[in-house]
A and B are shown apart, each in its own frame.
Chain A
Amino acid sequence: MSRQFNASLASYNKLMRMMDKMPAKKPTKNIGLLSPSRTKNATDKEDMSQPINRIMKHFNIIKDKRGELNGS
């Protein structure tokens, strides 16, 4: 059974690969008074109309909670 194709396992691995490829969020430098509080980079915002992004958001929340529970 374990040697058969598992669609859930494949999609889990695919999601993990996608998350690894995503650039890490860098903190914005707010040094000056007139510097913008948020970057106006359109790519920084995730398109929540895409179901995969919504899944990733939920996934990250549960993963963080699990990390907190296991102390990592």
Chain B
Amino acid sequence: MVLEDVTSMFDAPIPGESLTIELGSRPWQQASELSTVDEAIEYYMERLSTDEFMNQLMDVLELGVPITSIVNTMQLNSVMEGVHSVDVGALVSPLLIEMIMYMADMAKVDYVSGLEKPDTSDKLAPTKVAKMMNKFKQEVEDTDIEEEPSVETQETEEPKGLMARRT
């Protein structure tokens, strides 16, 4: 919980950051290359159908990256490069998600779609557990453990002589 709050606090633009450059100097501030949804579909289908992209995509899916995150990154990147506008990206996204799921099904790759409802139970995510374990290990290493004085045990010697009593 604490880690999430800290990361979200820094994961935001600095106020006034957009005013530090000249208006129209960024690709997304220009007219986009593809203005219609059909052109955008064609553009993405061409990219998705290449062998190189397909192989990389399947590798990423096998790592457990959700398809929705991949598609969101793809379309946001295209918006940033000035390929298409934000609204075209939003319209094309569902189609891309479905297409990638279809491709993964064809390749018989186990994938995370990202469409599942978030788990609201108290179950901890593996990454959080790993972080907590690392923190705990570090704390254990940093603490000086005082050695306890060894307790000398007094052993009673058994009588060994011929006249000794047997117990």
Contacts and interface: CB of A to CB of B under 8 A. Distances in A.
Contacts, number: 75
Instruction: Tell me if A's interface is mostly helix, strand, loop or mixed.
Output: helix
Given A55-B37, A66-B105, A3 B92 contact: no
A9 B68 contact: yes
A54 B91 CA distance: 10
A58 B114 contact: no
Instruction: Tell me if B's interface is mostly helix, strand, loop or mixed.
Output: helix
Interface stretch (B19-27, B94-102, B131-139, B145-153): B94-102
Interface string B56-74: 0000000000101101100
Interface of B: 4, 11, 36-38, 41, 66, 68-69, 71-72, 75-76, 88-99, 101-102, 105-106, 114-115, 118
Interface of A: 1-4, 6-9, 11-13, 15-16, 51-52, 54-55, 58-59, 62-63, 65-66, 69-70
